[in-house]
Structure 1
Amino acid sequence: MKLMALTDDSQPISVLAQKIIQIQQIVDYIQIREKSKTPKEVVTLLEYLNERSVPKDKIIVNSHLDIAVSNSIPTVHLPEKGFSIKQVKEQFPHLKIGKSVHDYAGAKEAEHHGADYVLYGHCFETNSKKGKVPNGLSPINEMKKNLKIPVFAIGGIHVDRVQALLDVKADGIAVMSGIFSATHPFAAANQYREAIKDANKL
């Protein structure tokens, strides 16, 4: 099971960069999801990470297709309602593309159009979606039976919920506040990594 960390769009670029540098050897992927930041700020963050030798193949840029291409980032993540996967693939066949989905139908469509992975959620109750009923884990079972691309789970994933996601055969988990809002991001990321290892042993 892979571990993806999603930035929480609530911290200055300098602080965020330091946290990413701290965790980059523990996590498999870091998705830059800074919707309130200007394109210039996102580019500044990427330049800073590049200077500190954070591997580009670990970085995923959310939504900013132009920024991903111009900074040689190999993976871009598209929101459920955004750029067409097919059009992006036709223009930039070298790019890997992830897609946010909220049900099996959305995941199936994403795979059909060429997505390299899907990010499904939200799985559990989460503060970022207060008042919204979680979509649960059962759709992951259906995705894993019928899709060939990896399925990542997101939304309210605490360390003690890793086993449940491994049980439904999720290929990875995506964590935002559990890592980036933690007092010690390195220790938090390491807890998730250890939880994945422990779950795999069972």
Structure 2
Amino acid sequence: MLICVTQRKLCQENFLYRIQQLAQAKPYAVLLRERDLDLPSYERLAWKVKAICDRYGVLLILHQNSTVAEKMKLTHLQLSLPALRAYQKGVHSLLVGASVHSVVEAEEAQALGAAYIVAGHIYATECKKGTPPRGLSFLRQVCQAVSLPVFAIGGITSNNAKEILESGAKGCCVMSEAMTCQEPAVLVHEFATATLPVVCNHKG
């Protein structure tokens, strides 16, 4: 499974056009990150991205903003572990994913009711300069410690996606390449053929 994580400032073109190109290629999901936006700006962008994702039948996952996800009647939400600890379910039942960076955090996320886990960063990436990658052994330990689907993030490409799945992950998250590659459809296809299940996210 491939989850494409967004960071609009990386795009050399119109951001919504990039989302359309990715969505047309049918990744598993688009994760709208955009942490620099205030809540009203994030919501406005989320509605525009949702329209594109709905058009092509691609899952939209919001990042951190549970009130917006519930207002939009979405099904999925991605939270940091501190946000998951504070999260209180609203009217709509959301499938919540948690971002973790250790086996202990993965186990806590599962105990808190997370539906899936994003674990990283696995490989060296520009997003985490100065922070050593945790590597495949970390990913294997997380996958063995929890019964939840685990998605790997950080420095993942179509060339190393196969070893991500062989380590027990359900899929991959890719951001930088998803936002900057010249041919988004080719990128999604390469992940699909390399792994069969994959996620497209930012390399971070």
The separation in 2 between residues aligned to 1:119 and 1:37, in whole angstroms, is: 22
The residue aligned with 1:115 is 114
Which is bigger in relative contact order (C-alpha 8 A, separation at least 6)?
A: 2
Q: CA deviation at 1:197?
A: 3.6
Structure 2 residue runs without a partner (length 5+)? 199-204
- After superposition, the C-alpha distances for 1:146-165 in whole angstroms (9 at most, x for unaligned) are 31110000000011111211
User: What amino acid sits opposite 2:44 in the alignment?
Assistant: T
Using structure 1 for the length normalisation, give the TM-score.
Answer: 0.86
Residue 35 (structure 1) aligns with: 35
Q: Distance in 2 between matches of 1:193 and 1:51?
A: 24
| Gap runs ≥5 in structure 1 | none
Distance 1:110 1:54, change over 3 A: farther
Count of aligned pairs: 195
1:178 matched to 2:152? The reply is: no
- 1:6 maps to which residue? 5
1:78-97 equivalences under 5 Å are 78-84=79-85, 87-89=87-89, 91-92=90-91, 94-97=93-96
Q: Which amino acid aligns with 2:166?
A: D
Match of 1:23 in 2: 22
Match of 2:201 in 1: none
2:137 aligned residue: 138
Q: Partner amino acid for 1:105?
A: V
Pair 1:56–1:186, CA change in 2 (3 A): closer
- Three-state SS of the structure 1 residue aligned to 2:151 is strand
CA distance in 2, matches of 1:95, 1:44: 20
Q: Which residue of 2 aligns with 1:70?
A: 71
Indicate the RMSD between aligned Cα atoms, in angstroms. 2.4
Matched residues in 2 for 1:153 and 1:49: separation? 23
Partners of 2:91 and 2:115 lie apart in 1 by 13
| Alignment correspondent of 1:187 | 186
Distance change in 2, residues 1:57/1:71 (3 Å): farther
- The separation in 2 between residues aligned to 1:198 and 1:36, in whole angstroms, is 30
> What is the rounded CA distance, in whole Å, between the counterparts of 2:98 and 2:92 in structure 1?
16
> Could you state the TM-score of these two structures normalised by the residue count of structure 2?
0.85
CA contact (8 A) 1:57 1:73 kept: no
